[in-house]
Amino acid sequence: MATPSRGSWTGHLGFVLAAAGSAIGLGNIWMFPYRTGTNGGAAFVLLYLIAVIAIGIPLILAEVLIGRSTKKNPVGAFRTLRQGTAWPALGWLGVVAGFVILSYYGVVAGWALEYTWRSALGGLGAIDEEGVAEFFARLTSDGPRQVAEQAAFMAITAAIVARGVEAGIERASKVLMPLLFALLLVLLGYSLTSEGASQGLDFLLKPRFDELTWSGVLAALGQAFFSLSLGMGAMITYGSYLADDESIVKPAFLIASLDTLLAILAGLVIFPLVFTYGLEPGAGPGLIFITLPKAFLQMPGGGFLATIFFALVLFAAVTSSISLLEVVVSFVIDEMNVRRDVASWGVALLIFALGVPSAVVPGFLDLVDGLASNWLLPVGGFLIAVFAGWAMTADEARAAYRGRSNSELGFGAWRLCVRYLAPTAVGVILLQNLGLIG
C-alpha cells in the first residue's frame, strides 16, 4: 500500500487522467502538427503510430510497473529493486531530465500564456497578418517579457503540485482534461466545416512517402517518447501513486490512445485552417505561433477562436508540466524528507532560474530541447527497457506486471518488446544521433 504521506490516486480514473494529462501537452499540439507538416504528412503519422504501439505502450507498462511495485520516486525505485548497483543512476538521469525539460517547457508555455491573454483581450486582432511573424519574433527576443510569462506559468505549476497528488495533480487533471477535449471539439467544428477541410484531411491522412527521410523516421520515434512522457521516470512517479490491485494494461492502452487521439485531432483542427487561408503546412516550429494566428486573423470570430485555441495549449502544457515537476518533487520528498509545499515551490524556483537562459539567450532553448529530446529521453528509455527486459528476472517482472487484467500472453508479448524491440529501435535512434549510422 502507498503510505498516506506520499499520497495516492483515488482510483484508476484519476491515474489515467493524470497520466494522459502528462502525455498530452505541447508535444501534441505544437510539435506533432509541425513535424507532420515537414515530414510527409500521413507517412509520418503512420510511423508515429507504429512507434507508439511497438515501443511506447510497452515502455509505459515498464515504467508504471516499476513505480507501482516500489512506491518510490525514480531514484528510490531503482535503489529498491537493485540496491548497491549502478541502476539508481538511471533514476538520477530522470530527475535531471525533469529539471532540464521543465526549464524550457515553461518558456514555450509562457508564449502560449502571452497568446492566450492577448487574444482574450483582443490584442492579437490589432496586428495585421504580416505583423504576426514580427510579433512572435519580438516576443521571443524580449527576455524580460518571456521571463515574466515563464515565472507566471511556473507559479501555476508549483501551486498545483504543492497541493499534493490527489487534491492538486488529480483534481487539476480531472478539470482540465475534459475541458481540453471540449475546447478541441469546438475548434474541430469550425475547422471541419471550413473550405480547406478536405485538403487538410488529405494532408493528414494520405501518406507522401517520397517526402519522408531517415531523419523523419527518427523524429517519429523521438516524438513518441516525448509525447508519451517516457524515458525520464514520469510514469514511474505516477505509477508509484497507484494501488497494487489497480490494473496497468488497460490504462497503458488508454493513455497512449488518448495521447494519439489528441495529436491527430490537433492536426485536424490546424491543417484545414491552414489550407483554407492558403498558408504553408510545412512551416516548422512557427506553425501554431505564426501560421495559425494568420488564419485566425482572417476568419470571422477569429479572436474568440484564437483565445480558445491558446487556452487549450496552455491547459495541455499545465497538465504536463505538473508531471515534470512532480518527478523532481517526489524525489526531494522521499529522499530528503522535505515537506511537499516547500519542495514544490523550492524546486519550481530552481527550475525557473535554470530556464532563464532559455528565455534570454538566443538559440539556448533549441539547444536544451535538442539535448533533452535527442539524448536524455532516448538514453533513459533505452536503459529503462534494458532494465525491465534484462535486469529484472522473468519472475520478478511477472510479479510486478500482475494486475486485474493480465494474461500470460500479454506478459510474454510485453517482455519481448522490452527485451528486443524497444532497445533495438531506440539504440538505432541513439546511433543515428551520434552520427554513427545514416
Contact 51, 220 (CB under 8 A): yes
Measured from the CB atom, is 227 or 330 closer to ligand PFF?
Answer: 227
Residue 248 phi/psi, 5° resolution? -120, -15
Residue 238 parent element (H or E): helix 234-239
116, 157, 191, 323: residue in contact with ligand PFF (rule CB under 6 A): 323
Round to whole Å and give the CA distance between 107 and 233. 22
Q: Does the protein bind ligand PFF through residue 27 (CB under 6 A)? A: yes
Residues 364-393 that bind ligand PFF (CB under 6 A): none
| Nearest distance from C-beta of residue 101 to ligand PFF, angstroms | 6
Give me the least distance between CB of 224 and ligand PFF, in Å please.
10
Is 73 among the residues that bind ligand PFF (CB under 6 A)? Answer: no
- 26, 95, 212, 288: which one contacts ligand PFF (CB under 6 A)? 26
Select the span of 4-12, 189-197, 221-229, 332-340 touching ligand PFF (CB under 6 A): 221-229
Contact present, 22 and 229 (Cβ < 8 Å) = yes
The reply to whether 191 sits near ligand PFF by the rule CB under 6 A is no
**Distance between the two ends of the chain, CA-based, in angstroms?**
48
CB atoms within 10 A of CB 178: 11
d(CA 264, CA 250): 21
Instruction: Report in angstroms how near the CB of residue 232 gets to ligand PFF at its nearest.
Output: 5
Give the nearer residue to ligand PFF in terms of CB position, either 22 or 358: 22
**C-alpha closest to that of 92 among 319, 320, 335:** 335
Using CB under 6 A as the binding rule, whether residue 240 contacts ligand PFF is answered as no
Q: Which of 70, 140, 194, 229 binds ligand PFF (CB under 6 A)?
A: 229
**Which of 8, 22, 157, 191 is in the footprint of ligand PFF by CB under 6 A?**
22
Residue 407's alpha-carbon distances to 55, 157, 247, in angstroms, are: 19, 38, 12
Task: Mark the segment that binds ligand PFF (CB under 6 A) among 19-27, 34-42, 77-85, 187-195.
Answer: 19-27
CB-nearer residue toward ligand PFF: 26 or 201: 26
Out of 87, 135, 203, 226, point to the residue binding ligand PFF (CB under 6 A): 226
Q: Are 165 and 8 in contact (CB under 8 A)?
A: yes
Quick one: which of 18, 20, 23, 180 contacts ligand PFF (CB under 6 A)?
23
Fill in the per-residue mask, 112 to 151: x = in contact with ligand PFF (CB under 6 A), - = not in contact: ----------------------------------------
Would you say 58 or 303 has its CB closer to ligand PFF? 58
- All 3 cell numbers of residue 380? 533513459
57 exposure class (CB count in 10 Å sphere: 0-12, 13-18, 19+)? buried
Kindly state the number of chain residues that form the binding site for ligand PFF, as judged by CB under 6 A: 15
Nearest approach, Cβ of 317 to ligand PFF (angstroms)? 7
Nearer to ligand PFF, 47 or 228 (CB): 228
25 binds ligand PFF (CB under 6 A): yes
Assess 324 for contact with ligand PFF (CB under 6 A). yes
What is the spatial distance between Cα 192 and Cα 272, in angstroms, rounded to a whole number? Answer: 7
Which of these, 66, 102, 161, lies nearest to 383 by C-alpha position? 66
Nearest residue to ligand PFF by CB is 27
What is the separation of C-alpha 245 from the centre of its chain, rounded to a whole number of angstroms? 27
Tell whether residue 103 is a contact of ligand PFF (CB under 6 A). no
C-alpha to C-alpha distance for 113 and 273, rounded to whole angstroms: 22
What are the phi and psi torsion angles at 24 (to 5°)? -80, 115
The answer to the question of residue 101 lying near ligand PFF (CB under 6 A) is yes
- Cα(2)–Cα(246) distance, rounded to whole angstroms? 12
- How many angstroms from the chain centroid is the CA of residue 201? 24
Which positions touch ligand PFF (CB under 6 A)? Answer: 22-23, 25-28, 101, 226-227, 229, 232, 234, 320, 323-324
